Amino acid sequence: MEILAVQSNDRVPIRNFSQVEPYLFRGGQPVKEGFFALNEMGVRTVISLRWGKKVIAAEKAAVEDLGMKFISIPLNYWNLPKQETVDMFLALIDDEANHPIYVHCFHGSDRTGILLAIFRMFRQGWSFSQSYDEMRKFGFHRFRLQNFKWWLRKFSRAHGFH
């Protein structure tokens, strides 16, 4: 399977913004203009992978004030996703009631990258190499976060994706 071309939209004022599927978008942390753009695009659900009570509370208010649904799945750099987190993320993506969905962390590259790599493998049949290559295209910090690559490789092998 060939990796799909990275589709970005320079008109959306969000760092590292891209469309993954017609119903799924990814990128970095939106600011006010970014949330307005997502709302205008018809995004129904925002999934934030950021952590910190104040960060989560501020974003929840901004998203819900625009009538969108806010879901927080806080991930950090030192605790890798657990199976329950992966299962919850995939279930949210699978639920058409949530579509269209925007998934983000701060940069839109590391935490977003690892969960979307899992989506690519589990829902689209991509290999580890294809998924990891896409992470790198979106700026994955591979030298600083080698544990993410190690975890993704181990996780993919445990589930039959090589």
Element (H, E) at 58: helix 53-65
Token pair for 49:
């992978």
Q: Please write the tens of the pLDDT for every residue from 113-122.
A: 999 999 999 9
In terms of C-beta distances under 8 Å and separation of at least 24 residues, what long-range contacts does 123-130 make, across chains too?
123/90, 123/93, 123/94, 124/1, 125/1, 126/1, 126/3, 126/161, 127/1, 127/156, 127/161, 127/162, 128/152, 128/153, 128/156, 128/157, 128/161, 128/162, 130/1, 130/3
Q: What is the pLDDT of residue 160?
A: 84
Q: Please write the tens of the pLDDT for every residue from 1-16.
A: 333 334 456 689 999 9
CA nearest neighbour of 137 among 162, 122, 116:
116
Q: What is the pLDDT of residue 4?
A: 36
* Domains parsed from the chain with CATH numbers: 18-158 (3.90.190.10)
The identity of residue 110, as a single letter, is: D
Q: What is the pLDDT of residue 11?
A: 81
Low-confidence residues in the chain, pLDDT < 50: 1-7
pTM here is 0.89
Q: What is the pLDDT of residue 2?
A: 35
